[in-house]
Amino acid sequence: MRALAKRGFRELYIVNPSAENRDTGEFRVISSCFPGGLSETTQPFDVVVGQHRLEHSCAPVAAVAVARNLLAPNGEVWIEVPDIAASALSNGSVWLSIVYALHSSYFTRETLVRANAYAGPQALSIENVDHYGKSLRAVLSRGNEPSPALISANDEGHWDPVVDAMQRYFEGLKQFCAHVPSGIAC
């Protein structure tokens, strides 16, 4: 939020249900789930930021559509989500940190572009970043069509590395559980 203030944004709101969030005077905290509580705010917004929030939504397309509807005519939605495909291809097991019960949705570059296309905004850019492991960062506008350059010409098999990595993980988990002494819960 402070980075946004340094860029010149003046009306800053955080929408977060966590009880420890408090208004600081620098920005307003709305203790709710997105988009709850925003009806009281001045609209439209120049920027709506969803940093590692969309993967927690059971309805990510609807969440992006709501964000788009909150935008000013030249506004942008900035989204960052874990990239399950890039994480599955990375060395080590960093990808396991994104596979857990609080994530309802998983994204690759192609599925993020499609989710945004269904919701209505135009994908201006999508890049891979090393943030919370391997992530995708997207900038979206109010347009209606995704940029053709962002849609992969051939996305056949884009889930193969993810499926393979998850199968290896569950096989390892089965082997681990076979050696856990009785009476211990995992």
Q: 86: Cβ–Cβ under 8 A, 6 or more apart, which residues? A: 108, 128, 134, 136
The Cα–Cα gap between 17 and 33 comes to 6
CATH number at residue 57: 3.40.50.150
- For residues 135 and 63, membership in a common domain is answered with yes
- For residues 156 and 108, membership in a common domain is answered with yes
- For residues 76 and 131, membership in a common domain is answered with yes
pLDDT at 97: 60
- For residues 153 and 75, membership in a common domain is answered with yes
The pTM score is: 0.69
| Type of residue found at 57 | S
User: Cβ of 28: how many Cβ atoms within 10 Å?
Assistant: 15
Provide the Cα torsion 113, 85, 133, 14; round to 10°. 30
pLDDT at 150: 43
| Per-residue pLDDT tens digits of the chain, which is 186 residues long | 888 888 888 888 888 777 676 777 777 888 777 777 776 777 788 888 888 888 888 888 888 888 888 888 888 888 999 888 776 666 555 555 666 777 888 888 888 887 777 777 677 788 888 876 688 888 888 765 444 444 443 445 555 665 666 677 677 778 877 887 877 765
Q: In total, how many domains does the chain have?
A: 2
133-171 residues labelled b (16+ CB within 10 A) or e (exposed): bbbbbbbbbbeeebeeebeeeeeeeebebbeebbeeeee
The Cα–Cα gap between 9 and 94 comes to 34
pLDDT at 27: 78
pLDDT at 95: 53
pLDDT at 183: 75
